[in-house]
Amino acid sequence: LPFYSGTGRFYIVKYNGKPEGDVDYAAEGVTAEGIMPLYQRCVHLGCRVPFCQQSQWFECPCHGSKYNTAGEYKLGPAPHGLDRFKVSVSETGDVLVDTAEVILGPPRGADTIKDPPSGPFCVAVQ
């Protein structure tokens, strides 16, 4: 399961995706030590996007946009994947997420982790 930080308004997810050709959607310092922070806000109209236990995807309750565990767009009206934040891990193992700058999420079609839904969706596809 992703770790949720309510005060930071982000999720921390495991990430071991592979770049697609010459494009690495997780560049720009948004991954560290196999983790990546995802902004909780849907890129469609800004609703908070919870994690669905059934599908194991992030699903927007407002208009049905769906994102895999890496925040990559899969279904719905969202224009691209979930936005991210820069992250680093200190020498003592503390995870530091910089929420001052939002990093644009990957474009539609990004599929670096090959992550189909694990079960039924929590929110109907609209």
Provide the residue-wise pLDDT of the chain in tens; the chain has 126 residues: 699 999 999 999 988 776 665 555 555 667 777 889 999 999 999 999 999 999 999 999 999 999 999 999 999 999 999 999 999 989 998 999 999 999 999 999 988 888 899 999 999 876
Name the nearest CA neighbour of 31 among 113, 82, 90, 89: 89
- Rounded to whole angstroms, how far apart are CA atoms 84 and 20? 18
Q: What is the pLDDT of residue 92?
A: 93
* Continuous segment of H or E residues that includes residue 4: strand 3-5
Q: What is the pLDDT of residue 20?
A: 61
Give residue for tokens 């891990």: 89
Q: What is the pLDDT of residue 28?
A: 61
Q: What is the pLDDT of residue 70?
A: 93
What domains can be seen in the chain, in order of their start residue? 1-126 (2.102.10.10)
